């Protein structure tokens, strides 16, 4: 048991398969080669051979991985690399000047750099190494002071970014990936069911690597799908699915007359309303079933029951009325109630017919299980019908 649990835990360390084509992997490597070579060459020309400014700092290698191998990542966008590196370099130089212990200065520099990058929306992982370089780069870096921010950090960041923009444009790749403007809700496609195979096929078609695990991406898409259904059902109200031509009765209506209405209109329940058309009860086919005369046995039993009831009521007692048979504890909903709130009433509380009332409390319609299923079906396929 313990061995199996350990193996499952170790299995979690295995990386997800890379779906990117080999041509794209080689393209990323070529881009990094060109970008780093160009960055080092430009820094050498600008600073000069005798300059104490390093031609290349190690964080540029990490930035090249993001810019050329994962260009779709938010961490690889222009503001992330420029802003993240400059902010982190500034923080690192300041910490190195104020704190003499290099370990304390390095820890504080990385922590403050992360907070600053989050605040300025320019998170770039290699920038953490920039902050460390400003603290631990030794006397040549410390001698530059805040000049380290401009050369080599800003200079090399701009050069590497420029190389990435040109390289992606020449190789037919989209870069940078700017913040997309959300489409209007009416233009958004409906959430559709998909399988893991569908997801893997789409990822294999992409020419860029996404910095997200396929399992996490699948979980995110399925959660988004559920949220889309919940949103659509929230927007869909009882007024959209209820039956409006509702047959109702008054409390003083005779029970036999109510039974005749149920048979005539082929419904299973009648809402009972007062003079102001406010719902005060509901009478169902089951409530009126004892009044129905069917076969011989039903007739005999009904006659015996009638005789007993007449003795109990007295000879002058009137025939039963709806008020005597109806259920007064009625569950109602308003016309603007979302379907998402109605579904549990049918699924978990055993309701089969729910009267719908308007803002004034008057009867406006009735929702049955058939209405609910039909409404959910219409809503689920409404988007596709519009596009068709």
pLDDT tens by residue, the chain, 388 residues:
477 778 777 777 877 677 778 899 999 999 999 999 999 999 988 877 667 788 899 999 999 999 999 998 889 999 999 999 999 999 999 999 999 999 999 999 999 999 999 999 999 999 999 999 999 999 999 999 999 999 899 999 999 999 999 999 999 888 998 755 554 544 444 445 677 777 778 777 776 667 676 776 777 777 676 566 656 666 678 888 898 889 999 999 999 899 999 989 888 899 999 999 999 999 998 888 877 654 444 444 455 555 555 555 555 556 789 999 999 988 899 999 887 788 777 765 667 789 999 998 999 999 987 887 777 677 666 555 555 5
CA distance 310 to 327: 23
Residues 135 and 254 in one domain: no
Domain of residue 96, residue span: 15-170
What tokens appear for 387 in the block? 């596009």
Tell whether 217 and 309 lie within a shared domain: no
Both 199 and 272 in a single domain? no
Other C-beta atoms lying within 10 Å of the C-beta of residue 3 = 7
The count of structural domains within the chain is 3
Q: Tell me whether residue 54 is in a domain.
A: yes
- Is there a single domain that holds both residue 20 and residue 129? yes
Of 93, 147, 145, 83, nearest to 116 by C-alpha is: 83
Look at residue 146 and tell me if it is in a domain. Answer: yes
Q: 3-state class of 148 per DSSP?
A: helix
**Residue 289: inside a domain, yes or no?**
yes
Q: Give the chain's largest Cα–Cα span.
A: 124
- The domain spanning residue 348 has which CATH number? 3.10.580.10
Do both 75 and 121 map to the same domain? yes
Nearest to 23 by CA among 251, 227, 278, 207: 207
Angle between helices 78-98 and 102-120 (to 10 degrees): 150
State whether 224 and 304 are in the same domain: no
Residues 222 and 288 in one domain: no
């Amino acid at each position: 048991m313990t061995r199996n649990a350990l193996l499952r835990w170790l299995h979690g360390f295995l990386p997800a398969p890379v779906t990117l084509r080999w041509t794209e992997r080689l393209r990323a490597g070529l881009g990094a080669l060109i970008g780093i070579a160009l960055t080092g060459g430009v820094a050498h020309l600008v600073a000069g051979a005798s300059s104490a400014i390093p031609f290349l700092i190690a964080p540029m290698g990490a930035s090249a991985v993001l810019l050329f191998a994962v260009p779709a990542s938010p961490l690889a966008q222009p503001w992330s690399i420029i802003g993240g590196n400059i902010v982190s370099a500034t923080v690192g130089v300041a910490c190195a000047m104020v704190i003499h212990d290099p370990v304390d200065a390095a820890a504080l520099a990385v922590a403050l750099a992360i907070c600053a990058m989050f605040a300025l929306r320019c998170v770039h992982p290699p920038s953490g190494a920039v902050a460390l370089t400003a603290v631990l780069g030794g006397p040549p870096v410390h001698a530059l002071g805040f000049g380290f921010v401009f050369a080599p950090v800003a200079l090399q960041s701009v050069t590497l970014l420029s190389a990435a923009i040109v390289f992606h444009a020449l190789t037919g790749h989209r870069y940078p990936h700017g913040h997309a403007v959300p489409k209007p809700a009416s233009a958004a496609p409906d959430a559709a069911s998909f399988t893991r195979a569908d997801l893997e096929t789409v990822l294999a078609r992409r020419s860029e690597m996404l910095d997200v695990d396929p399992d996490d991406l699948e979980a995110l898409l399925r959660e988004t799908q559920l949220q889309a259904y919940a949103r659509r059902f929230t927007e869909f109200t009882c007024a959209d699915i209820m039956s409006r031509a509702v047959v109702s009765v008054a409390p003083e209506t005779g029970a036999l007359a109510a039974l005749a209405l149920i048979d005539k209109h082929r419904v299973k329940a009648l809402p009972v309303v007062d003079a102001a058309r406010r719902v005060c009860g509901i009478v169902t086919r089951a409530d009126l079933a004892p009044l129905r005369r069917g076969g011989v046995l039903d007739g005999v039993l009904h006659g015996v029951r009638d005789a007993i009831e007449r003795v109990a009521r007295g000879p002058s007692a009137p025939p039963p009325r709806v008020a005597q048979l109806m259920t007064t504890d009625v569950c109602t909903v308003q016309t603007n109630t979302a379907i998402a709130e109605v579904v549990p009433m049918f699924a978990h509380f055993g309701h089969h017919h729910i009267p719908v009332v308007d803002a004034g409390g008057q009867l406006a319609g009735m929702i049955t299980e058939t209405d609910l299923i039909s409404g959910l079906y219409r809503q689920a396929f409404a988007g596709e019908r519009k596009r068709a």
